[in-house]
């Protein structure tokens, strides 16, 4: 998806890689909170930002603990969605 690798939970995408960015589905509220970081930007690879999704630059997930925290947040959000 998006020309990169992605991972699904119950049929819903929760994370992936696009170029050098980590893509995460956090929901509208979670994405808004994440966008406070200078290492995070909205997921916009087509000219239309996707609501509830973010892109984290490499510095934002360089350490294992940082990556784990992002993945946990995305998994927790996506676990609330209906299965596909």
State the pTM of this model. 0.92
CA distance 40 to 8: 21
Q: Which domain holds residue 54?
A: 6-78
Position 3 pLDDT exceeds 80:
no
* Residue 10: per-residue pLDDT: 96
Assigned domain for 84 exists: no
Assigned domain for 1 exists: no
pLDDT digits (tens, 9 = 90+) for 34-77: 999 999 999 998 899 999 999 999 999 999 999 999 999 999 99
The structural domain count of the chain equals 1
* Residue 46: per-residue pLDDT: 87
CA distance 25 to 45: 15
């Amino acid at each position: 998806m998006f020309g990169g690798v992605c991972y699904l939970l119950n049929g819903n995408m929760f994370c992936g890689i696009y170029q050098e960015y980590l893509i995460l589905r956090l929901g509208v509220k979670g994405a808004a909170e994440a966008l406070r970081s200078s290492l995070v930007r909205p997921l916009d690879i087509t000219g239309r930002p996707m609501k509830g999704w973010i892109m984290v630059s490499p510095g934002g997930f360089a350490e294992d603990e940082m990556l784990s925290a992002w993945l946990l947040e995305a998994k927790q959000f996506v676990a609330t969605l209906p299965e596909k």
